[in-house]
Amino acid sequence: MKIEKLHYFESVARNKNFTKAAKECHIAQPAISHHIQNLEEELETDLFIRNSRNVSLTPQGEIFYKEVVKILKAYDDAVLKTKFSSMYSKGKLTIGMYGFSSLNILDSAVSTLKSKYPNVDIVFDRCHNAYYVDYLLSGKYDVILAYVSSTLELPDNIDSKLVRSCQFGIMIPKNHTLATKDSITMDDIVDAKEDVYVLDTYISYMKKNTNIAHTRIKSEDDMELLLITGSINKSIIFTTRHEADEFHNSSMIFREVSGNVISANQGIYYLKNHNNWVLTQLLNYL
């Protein structure tokens, strides 16, 4: 018994009409009638009660119909699983990084993904434009890894996922007067004379919510560049401990800042209606 016969039978039983079933199955009505007749001969029982307009199932047809629905569902599931298993053996995910120098935020998820799908190609690249949403819309990147800002207005088809939240601290030269303090406050930073470096994502917040002179606040669009520029100029750098641990500079030291300090919300942006199965798996692991 061929699977096509079961599809024809299910369509006739559901539509209660040979003409409708023939159109749905894209075959001629005489052909579908012939297949149903052959099926009944094979089963040695009538499956339908026929009249001039519609058809209905016999008691034997009702029993057969319930089992056929299960068989067709199992068949469709098997086909999908087979296709997906072949698809999952290959794939690519392009991740754009904006503002990051450390990738440890994705280490666990990417490691899990690669261990399960070793043939998947994951590519990292730098974003050098604050309008990184455009990169997603154009298809340049599947994911943007960035500092997630609640003030950023996103198009309806862009979604974000917070992965890690922590407070900003500061990196300062080891010989800075603040380096010897047990507790550093925002007032201490305000009273210092050095320039203050912060990611451009947070420059508006710093100017509106702190008393640091605007002329002292400098910004960069990349954390690695921020750390390098700030350390060369022996300045005060707002960063996270995760980023500081990745930045190896023996002349600088990381210090926590007490009080009401801005939080660093780190996460990803992606298209809501994407069709990249690798991205779907990554989101599951985050």
Do residue 224 and residue 209 come from a single domain? yes
| Last residue in a domain, options 49, 66, 88 | 88
CA–CA dist 251, 157 (Å, integer): 45
Do residue 8 and residue 56 come from a single domain? yes
- Tell me what percent of the residues of the chain surpass a pLDDT of 70: 92
pLDDT at 101 over 60: no
Largest interatomic CA distance in the chain: 98
Let me know the angle formed at the C-alpha of 182 by 180 and 185, rounded to the nearest 5 degrees: 100
CATH number at residue 35: 1.10.10.10
Alpha carbon distances (Å) from 110 to 20, 104, 162: 50, 10, 16
Residue whose token pair is 């917040």: 205
Contact 135, 144 (CB under 8 A): yes
Do residue 21 and residue 83 come from a single domain? yes
For position 87, what pLDDT does the model report?
58
Least confident segment among 51-55, 78-82, 185-189: 78-82
Q: What is the pLDDT of residues 136-159, one digit of tens each?
A: 888 899 998 887 766 667 778 888
Least confident segment among 69-78, 237-246, 269-278: 237-246
Do residue 14 and residue 132 come from a single domain? no
What's the whole-model pTM score?
0.56
CATH number at residue 189: 3.40.190.10
Contact 172, 255 (CB under 8 A): yes
Supply the range of the domain harboring residue 120: 91-163+266-285
**Can you tell me the mean pLDDT for 199-211?**
84
Phi, psi of 48 (to 5 degrees): -125, 150
Domain count, the chain: 3
State the alpha helices, DSSP H only, in 89-173.
107-116, 133-138
Q: Please list the residues that pair with 262 across neighbouring strands.
A: none
Sign of CA dihedral 60, 62, 66, 72: positive
Do residue 202 and residue 251 come from a single domain? yes
Contact 257, 185 (CB under 8 A): yes
